[in-house]
Amino acid sequence: MTGTLLAPRTTSDTLVSAARAAGAAAGRDAARADRERRLAADVVAALVEAGFSRALVPAGHGGAATDFATLTEAVAALGEGCASAAWVGSLLAYTARFAAYLPAEGQAEIWADGPDSRLVSSLVSTSATAHAADGGWRLSGTWTYASGVEFSDWALLMAMVPGADGKPEPRFFAVPRAAYRIEETWDTVGMRATGSHTVVVDEEFVPAQRTFLMDDMFAGRGAVSDEIRHAQPLFAVNGLTFAAPVLGAARGALELSARALAEKAARGARPSEAQQIGHARAAGEIDAAGLLLNRVARSVDRARADDEILVRNRRDCALATQLLVGAVDTLFRGGGTRSQSASDPLQRIWRDTNSAASHMVLQFEPAALAFTRGPLDAARAEKRS
């Protein structure tokens, strides 16, 4: 990285307002999207129009210089209407951040037509191969769980290659839409409309300017940008990618619960104390999770995360997700048989939040162990000295 790190420009609430409008539209279509396992094309277009694709694009390519706190609130606002739409919107933004680690020539290709290119990514493959070729690599394989791939312009795909010392090292490859096909493999209990299908590449040549080392991205080094957003280590920020949609979904569930309680009271049927207490507890847990995620976002808006902030952010995103899932579980149970109806949106949110929380980035146990490792290692070192 060259030059001095620049703090992101202050952003208005334009993205949040646009996200709220897009979320309302996505919410109206959420039942169909869940049933048919895909977002509507106009919903995805609304995400792009709102600014998610360009939110974390380098300013030199027309990016919006959105800060993480604003983006987190915008994703949550979108998730109040549809968790799947929020998931795709979040990944559109954060995958563009990955592309900031490409060489300048590669970035120019990605954003040749402007900052709204739709990027998806996948690190998961059991068959990926990349062989060195003159001026680049020959890439083949299948990659799973590429959320939003049906609407993508580019895919960032990871494969292992020989490193300088002969040991395998992970490398990302940017592949244009014409060079990969999609196999529809995503059919799950929750987050059904994310379209997280499989990408297939057959012997595609990828020039060197469209590749970068995954370790550079994980460490937050080597981005061709002076913006602090592109200098953050991955684990300092990537919990926000997946926790923010869950925050929005939980807020949506709370609104449904409040509406149900009010309707019951309006009919003269007083809600039970258990329902009222459960609602209040869930509201507090959702607020607490939102505060945790806001602190995570603001910590990486201010400065480059050190090791202490990194492990704290990783812990907080995982913990916030546990609070949110617990809150939605409480609201779902409080809704009784009504909530279990196939036509009731609360059961969809319940499925979505539990499904989203299974993502490996949001698991609390590895985050907790990473959080305690530093102090424990220091204590052992002190004892030995």
Strand segments, DSSP code E, in 123-185 are 129-133, 136-146, 154-162, 168-176, 181-183
Question: pLDDT tens for residues 176-195?
Answer: 999 999 999 999 999 999 99
pLDDT for res 73: 97
In the chain, domain spans: 14-116, 119-216, 234-378
Share of the chain above pLDDT 70, in %: 94
- Residue 9: pLDDT band (50, 70, 90) is very low
pLDDT of 2 > 60? The answer is no
Average pLDDT, the chain: 92
Domain with residues 234-378, CATH architecture? Up-down Bundle (1.20)
Other beta carbons within 10 Å of 273? 8
Instruction: Judge contact between 85 and 193, C-beta under 8 A.
Output: yes
Mean pLDDT of 298-304: 95
pLDDT for res 163: 80
pLDDT for res 131: 93
pLDDT of 5 > 60? The answer is no
Share of the chain above pLDDT 90, in %: 81
pLDDT for res 385: 59
- Please provide residue 133's backbone torsions phi and psi, each rounded to the nearest 5 degrees: -135, 170
C-alpha 35/C-alpha 348 separation (Å) is 10
Q: Which residues of 120-149 are buried (b: 16+ CB within 10 A; e: fewer)?
A: bbbbebeebebeeeeebbebebbbbbbbbb
pLDDT for res 103: 96
- The answer to whether domain 14-116 has CATH 1.10.300.10 is no
- Each as own residue / partner, the long-range contacts of residues 30-36 (CB below 8 Å, 24 or more positions apart, any chain) are 30/81, 30/82, 30/84, 30/85, 30/193, 30/345, 30/348, 31/343, 31/345, 31/348, 33/82, 33/84, 33/85, 33/192, 33/193, 34/84, 34/192, 34/193, 34/348, 36/193
Pairwise pLDDT comparison (65 vs 356), residue with the higher score = 356
pLDDT for res 339: 81
pLDDT for res 378: 53
Question: pLDDT tens for residues 307-357?
Answer: 999 999 999 999 999 999 999 999 999 888 888 888 899 999 999 999 999
pLDDT of 13 > 90? The answer is no
Question: pLDDT tens for residues 88-143?
Answer: 999 999 999 999 999 999 999 999 999 999 999 999 898 999 999 999 999 999 99
pLDDT of 6 > 80? The answer is no
Report the phi/psi class of residue 166: left, alpha or beta, with left for phi > 0 and alpha for psi in -120 to 50: left
**The amino acid at 38:** R
pLDDT of 377 > 70? The answer is no
Report the phi/psi class of residue 180: left, alpha or beta, with left for phi > 0 and alpha for psi in -120 to 50: beta
pLDDT of 1 > 70? The answer is no
pLDDT of 7 > 70? The answer is no
Fold of 119-216: Butyryl-CoA Dehydrogenase, subunit A; domain 2 (2.40.110)
pLDDT for res 195: 95
Question: pLDDT tens for residues 277-299?
Answer: 999 999 999 999 999 999 999 99
- Each as own residue / partner, the long-range contacts of residues 47-51 (CB below 8 Å, 24 or more positions apart, any chain) are 47/22, 47/78, 47/85, 47/88, 47/89, 47/92, 48/92, 48/116, 48/118, 49/18, 49/22, 50/15, 50/18, 50/19, 50/21, 50/22, 50/74, 50/78, 50/89, 51/14, 51/15, 51/18
Pairwise pLDDT comparison (376 vs 49), residue with the higher score = 49
- Residue 260: pLDDT band (50, 70, 90) is confident
**What single DSSP character describes residue 172?**
E
C-alpha 256/C-alpha 303 separation (Å) is 38
